[in-house]
Structure 1
Amino acid sequence: MFTTFPSLESTFPLWLQISISAAWVLLIILIAWLVSRFTDSEPEIIRKIVHIGTGNVILLAWLLNIPAIVGITAAILASLITLLSYIFPILPGINSVGRQSLGTFFYAVSIGILVAVFWDLQQPQYAALGILTMAWGDGLAGLIGRRFGQHKYQLFGSNKSWEGSLTVTLVSLLVCILILLATQGNSWEIWLISIVVAIVATALEAISFLGIDNLTVPIGSAVLAYGLVQILALN
């Protein structure tokens, strides 16, 4: 069953659905620019505003039941723009993470893949689960890890903190629980699935060389959650 919100879907025409989603992304970019222009915030803060804010567009896509082709096309365009931004200063500050990274590109690619797969399966909630796990889990982990991360570890050349990793676990758990409870109902299986997905998401986020976690975390979380729901016959 396609989990959507028919009342809003039937209210807004396609052009307005696209306009609302585009306006949200532009608003986030504007906020990031204003913070960068008028405050002394670190580049990482600016990047996380965009990282977290734009990820929430998946909720609008789900809420409005935007056609898959729109989401896929937007993801392709975003991927091309981010690739160009590594050569030309199109997105100054957003790709500057203090290390060589393709994270922004992988982020856009993951959105396109998840929309393509789970819109086709009529299960958009899993695309939302994967993207929000990455947007909020990784986004807040980076901020908390940089400010409060006292216990460091290194994995495949990436510097991490246990405080940041714990943040990924807790935020991923909350995202999974909220989405699965809303779409599947309350059961012990939902809580078990959420715990497993949160642990796996944390492990995937820890392996983040070249920003690959922006691809593995959302796709891995979404596919794992969907697979476990099918295995436990909750649909």
Structure 2
Amino acid sequence: MKRASLFLTILQLGVLTCRIVAFSSRHSPIKYHSSSLQQKQQLSHSSTKRQQHLKFETKENSALLAKNENAPASSKSFTLTKTRKNLLTTTLFAFASTIAAASLHLLQGPFDPISNTVTSYTPSLILRDASTSVLCIILGYALTKIFTTAASDGKLQSRDSRKLIHTLSAPLFVFVWPLFSDAVDARYFAVIVPFLNALRIVIAGTASGSNDGDGDEEELANALSRSGDIKECLGGPLFYVIILSIATFCFWRDNLIGVIAVSTMAAGDGLADLIGRRYGSTNKWSFAPSKSKAGTLAFFVASTVCSILLASWLSYTNVLTLPFSSFPVLAITIAFISAVCAIVEILPLGDDNWTVPACAAVLSFLLFR
């Protein structure tokens, strides 16, 4: 059963990855060729006929120019539809394959403590998990849309919208985890959410700037880029959703490893940048001029608070068993992990989108086992 589930996951992720590569490589702008203007007729010797002819020619030229100006819009409209069709097709495939696997009992249902066995997925559980995945997608899209629209309207700087999305997206997703069923493999439904976000980011980073772009994807690319370069979407933001996918699939609600890794990556790193840029200009670290003490303090506080709140919420909803019965011990342990991750964040060890959650995961594994 485990081998079948693992094989299904590899197959599903492989096919979706192939679709991403195929989508980004096959897209090409559609060219429109305008027809040449009609040659001017020879003017009549009569002044009256000359005026009538000039009037007719002006109308004809205006119509042809309008047609040429509308051609790029038509091209964009066509590719916009094609972009959404590809995204919709991939979404439907992800849901259909996961639902089919659960229906064929390739995915494990809830654990029955009486018989000490894992039961099968029931139709009601499939409906619940699929519906929760759809809800997460809608909530994530709405959250992103708020900040991308604000950035496009000039009400919010692009770098601020980027970090606000960075800070709030993952914790919001983890907050909704209790809505999923208690099936062992409910994580397969949950991981669809960050994986589709990864697909959308790839589309935004590869299709924007040409006629392939969708208005929403262009807004997303501009909001997620640090300096305005849309290719930056394929860096930190893409790493972000990949790490979130790994944390969801590998750790899920089995333990605190994934929760703490996600909290340090999202809340810690996100607020460190927001606070550091505003209040850290006069308190830079001597060995890391791009980092500030204000940002490091914000990282520690945000990471600790977010981890404790999410852990308490998952424990309160009975989907996660805390490793310590004593809350002070749990809080101190989480604070220690956050402090170490804050140090890792200011050291030049690589991209903090993966070094920080990796450090949090390793420490959580060592301290919570």
TM-score class, shorter-chain normalisation, is 0.7 to 0.9
Matched residue, 2:242: 109
Against the structure 1 CA distance between its residues 30 and 75, is the aligned structure 2 distance closer, same or farther, given a 3 Å change threshold? Answer: closer
Q: Say whether the 8 Å CA contact 2:195–2:241 is kept in structure 1.
A: yes
Structure 2: distance between partners of 1:177 and 1:60: 12
* Shift, 1:65, TM fit: 2.8
Q: Which runs of 5+ in 2 are unaligned?
A: 1-110, 112-123, 209-216, 316-321
* Shift, 1:133, TM fit: 2.3
* Shift, 1:17, TM fit: 0.7
Structure 2: distance between partners of 1:207 and 1:95: 24
For residues 53-132 of structure 1, the aligned pairs below 5 Å read: 53-65=168-180, 67-89=186-208, 90=217, 91-98=220-227, 102-119=235-252, 122-123=254-255, 125-132=256-263
For residues 1-235 of structure 1, the aligned pairs below 5 Å read: 13-65=128-180, 67-89=186-208, 90=217, 91-98=220-227, 102-119=235-252, 122-123=254-255, 125-149=256-280, 150-153=282-285, 159-180=290-311, 182=315, 183=322, 184-207=324-347, 212-230=351-369
* Shift, 1:75, TM fit: 3.0
Select between 95-104 and 188-197 the one with higher mean Cα deviation: 95-104
Structure 2: distance between partners of 1:204 and 1:79: 25
Select between 137-146 and 92-101 the one with higher mean Cα deviation: 92-101
**Matching residue's letter, 2:302:** V
**Matching residue's letter, 1:49:** L
Against the structure 1 CA distance between its residues 40 and 94, is the aligned structure 2 distance closer, same or farther, given a 3 Å change threshold? Answer: closer
**TM (normalized to structure 1)?**
0.78
Against the structure 1 CA distance between its residues 15 and 83, is the aligned structure 2 distance closer, same or farther, given a 3 Å change threshold? Answer: closer
Question: Taking every aligned residue pair, what percent have the same amino acid on both sides?
Answer: 23
* Shift, 1:198, TM fit: 0.9
Structure 1: distance between partners of 2:202 and 2:368: 35
* Shift, 1:131, TM fit: 1.2
Q: Say whether the 8 Å CA contact 1:129–1:176 is kept in structure 2.
A: yes
Q: Say whether the 8 Å CA contact 1:21–1:60 is kept in structure 2.
A: no
Q: Say whether the 8 Å CA contact 1:137–1:172 is kept in structure 2.
A: yes
Q: Deviations 1:95-116 (Å, cap 9, x if unpaired)?
A: 3213995211110111111112
- RMSD of aligned alpha carbons: 3.0
Q: Which runs of 5+ in 1 are unaligned?
A: 3-8, 231-235
Q: Deviations 1:145-193 (Å, cap 9, x if unpaired)?
A: 111112123767x711111011101112223333455534325532331
Aligned residue pairs: how many?
218
Structure 2: distance between partners of 1:14 and 1:109: 21
Q: Say whether the 8 Å CA contact 1:205–1:217 is kept in structure 2.
A: yes
Instruction: Look up the SS of the partner of 2:207 in the other structure.
Output: coil
